[in-house]
Amino acid sequence: MKLISVEDIKEKDHPLDYRKTYTARAVFQSVVYGKEEIPISFHIEYTPLGEPRIEVQLHEHPRSGEVLGAVKALKSHIKALREQGVLS
């Protein structure tokens, strides 16, 4: 299972300045199951030292059952989006 993209990213209001919360759709491609879209939510929380900590929640399990691989790929992709300035 391969992560293709993260689409429809929407920031939710959050009362804490050091925490940003988002909802989105993750698009995966699998040889067996084909293209699959999974609703997700994630947040980026900055530690007192300024380091970002990313947490991801899948709202549905992938049909392939590769939850840990999906979360790892999403964290890496979200980190790259943050570094590119896509996520404010």
Q: What percent of the chain has pLDDT over 70?
A: 99
pTM (2 d.p.): 0.89
- Which residues are 54's β-sheet partners? 44
Instruction: Band the pLDDT of 12: cuts 50, 70, 90.
Output: very high
Domain ranges in the chain? 2-84
Output 14-21 pairs: Cβ under 8 A, ≥24 positions apart.
Answer: 14/43, 18/45, 18/46, 19/43, 19/44, 19/45, 19/46, 20/44, 20/45, 20/87, 20/88
* CA atoms of 63 and 45, how far apart (whole Å): 29
What's the confidence (pLDDT) of residue 23?
97
CATH of domain 2-84: 3.10.450
